[in-house]
Structure 1
């Protein structure tokens, strides 16, 4: 969607939701309590022909194991390289967005990064090698780490929100019933354009909640 120039609001919220291959980004402003979508886009963390950046843990899972079934040196190096490429692309993509926002008059940016309750996973590679169903979870965590890294490189203020409890938090923070919240999200999606799937709605809601909280400070 075309990015509109700032109408004078001080802050813009960027909701970030990790998916395979990159991050969904929805930017919004809240003018006198009224939310408005400014951008809805995608930050890639892997080139189309770069499997190592797209799914580093899947690549590692398919490699020969090290002693006692653990990660081999080759797998450790592959994951590290995949992470490096993901972080580089995320930093570049987010930098482009930040630059466009600044050029259109949005100077104060707060990022809302969606997370889940997987903080107990300390060794993501060992976790991914333990069971094939763990691999997609590890891939999502890697993309999220790349988005977090990119926010840090661009010195953005970041709020991390638990995805599971986001709707409950939003209902309280925005003072809207779950039904009214869904209606508002659908209405906002009509202005953002396609795609407007679950991932975009979550990113939008995280930005809305974070920005509203920030403006009340």
Structure 2
């Protein structure tokens, strides 16, 4: 009697499948990050992302459900990187003014690398989740700056005043990154000059804990 041999497919080990899933997901996020930083959100489609990532179109929806959800993941990664750059800049040696200058420079460098994305979310683009991500990053920046001047638990009036100063800086950066006639050095110099004045006015708002930064010479 002849034996019949049935050829069966070996099941892929669970750990291998998990690694493959992680790698595919990472490729999608990396591809989306590169596209969103250079191209407005509305001009990027899922087909472009899948093609750039080298994966099947359906995998994008499998892992992220929608382009908007994928953009949230990309935005969180960008916010985390920006927070890290801010911390590293403020940990450099030197006076508080030198460190604040490094903070502004690192911020502008990061913005320049992801200009399309920066303009999009700064003008209110994206879901409420996107705005929440960047609001959290903004509050992190505010607290880092105030800690630089020895204020670890700032009052709300002081947070509001610092937010106003950061908003001034952000508006100048928006103009600069869009190619308007606002020089990088001018953005930094104007923001540094305004900071001590804003801290003085913070006391008018009731911020008794406002620091007294040195006016730039």
TM-score bracket, normalised by the shorter chain, equals under 0.3
Greater length-normalized contact order (CA 8 Å, ≥ 6 residues apart): 1
TM-score, normalisation: structure 1 = 0.26
Kindly indicate which of the two structures has a greater share of residues assigned to helix: 2
TM-score, normalisation: structure 2 = 0.26
